[in-house]
């Protein structure tokens, strides 16, 4: 659930990228296994200027 993730976009950025680097091969896999809404994550991070890069499997 998104309630378990940091609300601050910069903290969320760090947390999601750590999970993508250490545990998940894609944002879709992360969202599916954790029951997260990809659109919400992308919207929150996008509001701070971050965008997901599929090839690098990270937000930047």
> Using CA atoms, how far apart are residues 11 and 16, in angstroms rounded to an integer?
9
Q: Is 6 exposed, middle or buried (0-12, 13-18, 19+ CB in 10 A)?
A: middle
Question: What residue ranges do the domains of the chain occupy?
Answer: 7-54
Instruction: Please tell me the predicted confidence (pLDDT) of residue 4.
Output: 78
Q: Quick check: 2 pLDDT over 70?
A: no
Residue 16 tokens, joined: 């999601």
Helices assigned H by DSSP within 1-60: 9-22, 27-34, 38-47
Q: Which of 48, 40, 42, 37 is nearest to 10 (CA)?
A: 48
- Per residue in 7-59, pLDDT tens? 999 999 999 999 999 999 999 999 999 999 999 999 999 999 999 999 999 99
């Amino acid at each position: 659930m998104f309630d378990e993730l940091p609300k601050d976009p910069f903290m969320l950025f760090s947390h999601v990228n750590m999970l993508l680097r250490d545990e998940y091969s894609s944002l879709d896999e992360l969202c599916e296994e954790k029951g997260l809404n990809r659109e919400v994550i992308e919207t929150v991070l996008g509001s701070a200027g971050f965008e997901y890069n599929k090839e690098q499997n990270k937000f930047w």
